[in-house]
Amino acid sequence: MSFSEADIAAIWLTLKLASTVTVLLLIIGTPIAWWLAKTQSWLKGPVGAVVALPLVLPPTVLGFYLLLAMGPNGFIGQLTENLGWGLLPFTFWGLVVASVFYSLPFVVQPIQNAIESLGDRPLEVAATLRAGPFDSFFTVVLPLAKSGFITAAILGFAHTVGEFGVVLMIGGNIPGETRVVSVQIYDHVEALEYAQAHALSGVMIAFSFFVLLGLYGFQRKQTSFLSPRGV
């Protein structure tokens, strides 16, 4: 069956949200992953636990506290109002902020694992060649840990596409503004429009399957490339 205009709008909004969040997660998550991979501080455990909280917290719990934080009495809400941006709840950028928090571990952990697997030797060699920190990162770390960054981007994008509880708590259900695919499916089910719900759910299932299939294929290819021949 064909999709309605509301369905198409929800799909495009979901893709826009996931793309924006993935870029921000790579920018924010990379320094966090680097610090977690390299630090010997006692804070590594607590910081790592905070980053991983969305993996175990119910989305509604995270959404509730983010809603308070972004509200008129919250520190994020007061900051955005002082900057002239207004309040973020029930806006697209409110969804972006919430999604960044919710998908953070799916980006930080693959990058952290990739950096830890490199060890210190490549950076020590770069230092002997007088490479600065930025040169070392872009010419040594980034190429060698490329698979971790690609995995992080794929997981961050896919996880954002599949969000429901957090986006519903923060964004509500505003057509064209905060109504993403998962919320649109919920609306179809509430209205007993099962055919439309099946169609959108089928798209989500197919998307998730091919993302995971591509990710596993990429990881298997990387493993085969790095393994000694004949092993």
Q: Report the pLDDT value the prediction gives residue 215, as an integer from 0 to 100.
A: 80
Contact 104, 118 (CB under 8 A): no
Q: What is the DSSP string of 3-43?
A: PPHHHHHHHHHHHHHHHHHHHHHHHHHHHHHHHHHH--STT
- Residue 10 burial (CB < 10 Å; 0-12/13-18/19+)? buried
- Do residues 11 and 3 make contact, with C-beta atoms less than 8 angstroms apart? yes
| pLDDT tens sequence across 177-199 | 899 999 999 999 998 999 999 99
> At residue 32, does pLDDT exceed 90?
yes
Per-residue pLDDT band for 28 (boundaries 50, 70, 90) equals very high
Q: Which CATH class is domain 5-226?
A: mainly alpha
Minimum mean pLDDT range among 54-58, 122-126, 166-170 = 122-126
Comparing 152 with 132, the larger pLDDT belongs to 152
Q: What is the DSSP string of 168-185?
A: HHHH-S-TTTT--HHHHH
pTM: 0.87
Residues 151/219, Cβ–Cβ less than 8 Å: yes
Domain locations in the chain as residue ranges? 5-226
